[in-house]
């Protein structure tokens, strides 16, 4: 099957800065693809390159096999949902959704019918006559989605669309976005700096750092088997171990990652590794316990309800050796 989007050695410069630096990417058709990284890592620039808002200085971008170099933004089979939604405050919700159809010259009745169908798709039936100011943040986000989908794009680009929502609503919208993508079967390319969003929704995650792709793969693989120290530290929390600590834990003299949930606190007597509790950090569902051991400060995730040793207490550490992931490319 022809990929939805391909980047072939793409570079985009802004003065002396390489915002995108030789990126190669393949986005499978019909997939939910997340571009994850901190601010300034190049992910949003890649999204804008797909949309046609930016042009590459080198390399090629193909959309369903077609070189996009000479294709203007309004002729690409893509549409974008922005973080600020960019709704027209003076138009009704229905007219906001139908705006792209109006620009294309679609007749009024067809516009209205298709806009209502899109509003039903995003669970906003009966709200077409309202103004954006009369809606909640989650409802405005749904209007922006409906407006982007009404033109039937083959690729939907989402630029941190959940960033302005509170935690509970953001989590609910994550579920709704994933369900919507599965129902429609179109390609979603989702930009975020929130690793929880990327891991929970995406089929494939590309982790960006300094304009380059540090790792691409299924969420579980990226989390459990990070390719570099940056990925281990950015995607979730991890104990990033230098070669000396890795050797002390029974591994080779190499950089390694050991997730906090893989470590267990045990009695110090007879434990393979002993240490001293430094501090606690309560997280609700669990507590992160910092332990000084093997010449490093290691973090252990203790599930809620389990007893916690006091700071200063001597403890032992245990873990499954298979959880110690050596990062060959670190």
Domain over 5-229 is classified CATH 3.40.50.300: yes
Burial class (CB in 10 A: 0-12, 13-18, 19+), 40: middle
Q: How far apart are the C-alpha atoms of 94 and 143, rounded to whole Å?
A: 9
| Strand ordering across the sheet containing 273-282 | 263-266, 314-319, 273-282, 286-293, 296-303
Report which secondary-structure segment, H or E, holds 121.
helix 108-121
In the beta sheet, which residues pair with residue 188?
32, 156
- Judged by phi (left if over 0) then psi (alpha if -120 to 50, else beta), residue 284 lies in left
Phi, psi (deg, nearest 5) at residue 197: -60, -50
pLDDT at residue 56, rounded to an integer: 96
In the beta sheet, which residues pair with residue 207?
36, 215
pLDDT at residue 126, rounded to an integer: 87
Nearest CA-CA partner of 153 in 76, 78, 62, 72: 78
Mark the ranges of the chain whose per-residue pLDDT is less than 50. none
pLDDT at residue 202, rounded to an integer: 95
Kindly list the domain boundaries of the chain, sorted by start residue. 5-229, 237-326
pLDDT at residue 329, rounded to an integer: 59
Global pTM value: 0.90
Intrachain domains 5-229 and 237-326 with the same fold: no
- Which residues are CB-contacts of 151 (< 8 A; sequence separation ≥ 6)? 79, 100, 101, 104
Residues 169-184: b if buried by 16+ CB within 10 A, e if exposed: ebeebbeebbebbeee
- Secondary-structure class of domain 237-326 per CATH: mainly beta
pLDDT at residue 272, rounded to an integer: 77
- Rounded to the nearest angstrom, the gap between the alpha carbon of residue 225 and the centroid of all alpha carbons in its chain is 17
């Amino acid at each position: 099957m022809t990929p939805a989007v391909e980047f072939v050695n793409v570079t985009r410069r802004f003065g002396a800065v390489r915002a995108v630096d030789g990126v190669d990417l393949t986005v499978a058709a019909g997939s939910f693809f997340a571009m994850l990284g901190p601010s300034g890592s190049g992910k949003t620039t890649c999204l804008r390159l797909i949309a046609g808002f930016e042009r590459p200085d080198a390399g090629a971008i193909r959309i369903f096999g077609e070189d996009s170099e000479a294709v203007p933004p309004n002729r690409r089979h893509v549409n974008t949902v922005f973080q600020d939604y960019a709704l027209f405050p003076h138009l009704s919700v229905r007219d906001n959704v139908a705006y792209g159809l109006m620009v294309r010259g679609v007749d009024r009745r067809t516009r209205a019918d298709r806009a209502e169908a899109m509003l039903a798709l995003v669970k906003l039936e009966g709200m077409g006559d309202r103004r954006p100011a009369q809606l909640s943040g989650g409802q405005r986000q749904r209007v922006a989605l409906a407006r982007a989908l009404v033109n039937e794009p083959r690729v939907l680009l989402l630029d941190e669309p959940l960033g302005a929502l509170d935690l509970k609503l953001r989590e609910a919208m994550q579920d709704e976005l994933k369900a919507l993508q599965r129902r429609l079967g179109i390609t979603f390319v989702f930009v975020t700096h929130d690793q929880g969003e990327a891991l929970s929704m995406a089929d494939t995650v590309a982790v960006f750092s300094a304009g380059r792709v540090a790792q691409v793969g299924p969420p579980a693989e990226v989390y459990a088997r990070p390719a570099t120290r940056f990925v281990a530290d950015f995607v979730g929390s991890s104990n990033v171990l230098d070669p000396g600590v890795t050797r002390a834990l029974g591994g080779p003299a190499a950089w390694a990652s050991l997730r906090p949930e893989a470590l267990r606190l045990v009695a110090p007597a007879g434990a393979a590794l002993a240490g001293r509790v430094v501090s606690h950090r309560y997280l609700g569902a669990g507590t992160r316990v910092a332990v000084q051991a093997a010449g490093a400060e290691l973090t252990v995730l203790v599930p809620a309800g389990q007893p916690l040793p006091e700071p200063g207490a001597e403890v032992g550490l245990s873990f499954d050796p298979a959880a110690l992931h050596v990062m060959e490319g670190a």
